[in-house]
A and B are shown apart, each in its own frame.
Chain A
């Protein structure tokens, strides 16, 4: 059995509002080709492929149909998971750890441009009890945002600051969809969607794909000079029913983070983690998720957004890439955080590089108000 699992190559497409020029398979292949080139592997060398896509978003059953050829899975081994590619990475890690497969290709893609976000999200609610209430993820997120902001006195200005920082950081990321110089006033003056969430508090519709190669310690050393190790991982789900949850505290994230930290030997995340990439589709989620991750105490996320701690050059830069708010698709967002963490640990993050980063955190979530939370800790030593 393998003792350590390495990521030896990562790639992402440029994120784009509408990639009408390619189908899902071709989009995925753009990222896959890059990781093959980088490692010198061919699709015949891949022992197993773990892919992530979602039937509801794709609008077809068996959304992975377009993928079989481009992941080399014809008469081969393939798993498809839903939710986020960070789950696909988790499954791939288990395959390598078990000794069942040596070289695993992980892929996630999404073309949000092909469907209607609100209709698709509504279908994610319980069909008998909840769908009829007509909510989508934005209206549900608005309920969570209001409750969280009321309970802890988080201000719209603080949430807007997260938007400004993320879009600003995105200017250093050549793959980002909407790098922008914006101000807090721009965010607060943008169109209201579902109070308190305004247009700039959310991410735009996005198409894109991400791929990575995972393998054993022994193989990793042959494939790259700069392997990145998975040193902690966990995920956690809480109940689907919003009324049964304390929406102002993301306890699923607290649990996921605790488990991942204990595997990685982390007891003071703010000091022991050098860079964090977290998935926030709505601005209020940045302070809320940072509380869940233990970067600060409960209700202190607003103050953390205000501080310089999470800026580039701060103690724990959060989302040097710009994160999800400037535009990452559902299902890819969390895996893209893993890819960005790997680039940081390899010193290959270009203008968004956090100098000397040794330990990185990648976070992904899916579902209504962050029902599913996943945390991965990566290190380069």
Chain B
């Protein structure tokens, strides 16, 4: 192999290793607004978002006490989001991503997508369809919920993914 070849393996330096294995125990409050989203998903399998009294825009990611656009107090006006929509954009990853629940990399076969819900709001979620040949923008999809009550309570993840539907 020639000197400077990109395929030449770099020499491994000698490391001094310090083991530092300390747990990081944190917990966070959802607060009132995000708490409403979590509670409605867990209890009623409903997707809730709050609406600005001024511009009437709906905040999906995530419910907030102040409209970022109008900079006014949002009050307490909630709308239920439709659970059907159209795939706006999708991608698929060929390398393993982090699974935060497992603390390790693993392959989630479900392609991430931005879904245009039927009320005109965009939601970032996953698609059930894993056959990349069958994926296309404009596909009609519907939310599939985790049916086990005890497993719900994860916010947006209470929806497992969006399933392709024929209409």
Contacts and interface: CB of A to CB of B under 8 A. Distances in A.
Contacts of B31: 21-23, 25-26
A265 interface: no
Nearest to B69: A74
Given A23-B34, A119-B24, A68 B68 contact: yes
Contacts of B25: 115-116, 119
A43 B29 contact: no
Interface residues of A, number: 31
Contacts of A115: 25-26
Contact of A21 (B32, B64, B66, B71): B32
B27 interface: yes
Given A26-B65, A69-B66, A128-B18, A42 B72 contact: yes
B23 interface: yes
A114 B66 contact: no
B2 interface: no
Contact of B22 (A70, A114, A122): A122
Interface of A (DSSP majority class): loop
B71 A59 contact: no
B71 A43 contact: yes
Contacts of A19: 29
Contacts, number: 69
Chain B contact surface mostly: loop
A44 B71 contact: yes
B20 A127 contact: yes
Given A69-B66, A74-B71, A132 B29 contact: no
A74 B18 CA distance: 42
Nearest to B34: A23
Nearest to B74: A69
Interface string B45-75: 0000000000000000000111111011100
Contacts of A127: 20
A25 B28 contact: no
A144 to B, nearest CB: 24
Q: How large is the interface on B (under 10, 10 to 19, 20 to 34, 35 or more residues)?
A: 20 to 34
A59 B34 contact: no
A148 interface: no
A226 B154 CA distance: 49
A10 B26 CA distance: 30
Given A42-B71, A44-B71, A128-B18, A23 B66 contact: no
Contact of B28 (A26, A70, A114): A114
Q: Looking at A23, A70, A116, A122, which has the most chain B CB atoms within 10 Å of its CB?
A: A23
A329 to B, nearest CB: 14
A30 to B, nearest CB: 10
Contacts of B29: 19-23, 111, 114
Interface of B: 18, 20, 22-34, 64-69, 71-73
Given A25-B65, A59-B26, 18 more contacts: A19-B29, A21-B32, A25-B64, A26-B31, A26-B32, A29-B65, A43-B71, A60-B28, A69-B65, A74-B68, A114-B26, A114-B27, A114-B29, A115-B25, A115-B26, A116-B25, A119-B25, A123-B22
